[in-house]
A and B are shown apart, each in its own frame.
Chain A
């Protein structure tokens, strides 16, 4: 079985910061906007290198989204940065009208998504943002799994014309995808070949899926692991090809099961190949304070939860 090595824990938001720094040097149309969370979003280096292209908006996210939309008129490529909660739910109508419906080339970059934000608690831990963003016509929705992939995605979305929601997180997590790897929007990455079950994971759950697959392998269960970094547009072909071989699937995400990756996958299966599916996701609940590891355990978002879900779905084949 193919194995992946953690080259050292790193936060995905730093991958975003590194990507933004590189874009600052390579694309003069890239501008960055932040609503008083420059350090948290790792935008400091871009700000230092290009003060004229960095816009500190203050604590005014609605205004930030509107300004970003306006800056595209004149050819700029705005990257907005704040927490996922304030990037989406707080400014939904601004994104809907001024960005999505207006077809503006704005990149909404959102850190601290999900329960792994940790101790700040539910006010800051959005678990509904993928649903909110994927429902907007024309919006591309990406949830990256590690530092390297977040950096690659940041570079890739600058080349894509159209609104993008790029979701990443706060904690340091395993970094295992290739350094300076390619990132193709809408293209799933098959990490491990398997025959018994398909595990489709996004964001922080990808590493957990890899960990689960190792344990399952020792137990004689061959799991195919797919990293779905792009939730919209979804790589339907990759999913259908895999389940045509395995016959069952587990989806895994740090998000409410309502509106998340799992539901998008369900639709594809319902239309083309009805297949037993189990969902690793939060169960229509808010988060709470705690360490990221405690919360992932409590809300059933880790390797052991994935292993159990695989066993459950195998019984339904």
Chain B
């Protein structure tokens, strides 16, 4: 059984990391990062089977692809705290000569990252390719991917969604961060996308919903169910309902912090709401 308190502590520390990283360089995307903190912590510490050391091919382990690369702060924090690279390196986020680029990349050789992302809509295709390679290699491990809900406005997703169902990519669990926000406002105002669950189902996916996407136990339960749905001839979609900016009260329920860093005072308020648990980097 996972120790929920440990995961809670890690999540709180990850939130601190996110706030401090974007504050230091006065740039980056805290809102979506905070909203997905519980998901990343669960994925990298409980859900995925990963090997001790990182190699690009990742044979014999589960793989993760982040499609909405702008939430790199949460990705970097969770990778560092899962020992993919030194936690101190979080200090270099978005600085010149850093492996922690504004959006994730393989170009600088950062362990844990297998594809560049940031230009939206490309990650599901890449995840499908990795899933096909797993099948060819007779490797029974799974591919996980994460996508923004606003990101689904990119047409390439629907090519990929059609392909994954049509070609029975059933070793893939694609999670959609359903926070209802994008840079210009609520997704319903920017471009109403209708019922995303029905759309995935119409394309032939198995769809599961995690109503409390910021609740660790709900995520662990939901993702275990998703895992149980793999290998049945259909790709699996998880609709993860999250709150953008979760854990920092003034950042929650708004698109305002999608791509904006807190100032000194705001940082202090945010940190006060998230006590240091594992030690700041």
Contacts and interface: CB of A to CB of B under 8 A. Distances in A.
Interface residues of B, number: 38
Q: Which of B126, B130, B162 lies at the interface centre, i.e. has the most chain A CB atoms within 10 A of its CB? A: B126
A10 interface: no
B122 A58 contact: no
Contacts of A65: 125
Given A98-B115, A98-B125, A66 B156 contact: yes
Q: Which of B63, B115, B123, B137 lies at the interface centre, i.e. has the most chain A CB atoms within 10 A of its CB? A: B115
B136 A70 contact: no
A49 to B, nearest CB: 15
Nearest to A60: B159
Interface string A82-124: 0000000000011011100111100000000000000000000
Contact of A97 (B118, B128, B131): B118
Given A93-B119, A102-B116, A73 B159 contact: no
B132 A55 contact: yes
Q: Which of B58, B156, B166 lies at the interface centre, i.e. has the most chain A CB atoms within 10 A of its CB? A: B156
A98 B133 contact: no
Given A60-B162, A73-B56, A97-B118, A67 B132 contact: yes
A68 B159 contact: no
A107 to B, nearest CB: 14
A67 B106 contact: no
B59 interface: yes
Interface string A69-87: 1111111101000000000
B217 interface: no
Nearest to B65: A70
Contacts of B116: 97-98, 101-102
A73 B119 CA distance: 20
Interface in A41-59: 52-53, 55, 57-58
Interface residues of A, number: 32
A75 B128 contact: no
A103 B136 CA distance: 22
Contacts of A305: none
A68 B128 CA distance: 9
A73 B63 contact: yes
A31 interface: yes
A285 interface: no
A27 to B, nearest CB: 13
Interface string B264-281: 000000000000000000
A74 B143 CA distance: 12
A132 B20 CA distance: 39
A187 to B, nearest CB: 27
Contacts of B106: 101-103
Contact of A94 (B59, B128, B130, B156): B156
A97 B119 contact: yes
A102 B57 contact: no
Given A74-B137, A102-B116, A94 B122 contact: yes
Nearest to B163: A63
Contact of A63 (B134, B137, B159): B159
Given A71-B132, A73-B63, A73-B114, A66 B160 contact: yes
Given A53-B136, A97-B119, A70 B131 contact: yes
B139 interface: yes
A62 B156 contact: yes
Contacts of B185: none
Contacts of A72: 129, 133
Closest 5 interchain pairs by CB? A70-B129, A66-B125, A74-B133, A63-B159, A60-B159
7 contacts: A62-B156, A67-B163, A71-B130, A93-B119, A94-B156, A101-B105, A102-B105
Interface of B: 56-59, 63, 65, 105-107, 114-119, 122-134, 136-137, 139, 155-156, 159-160, 162-163, 166
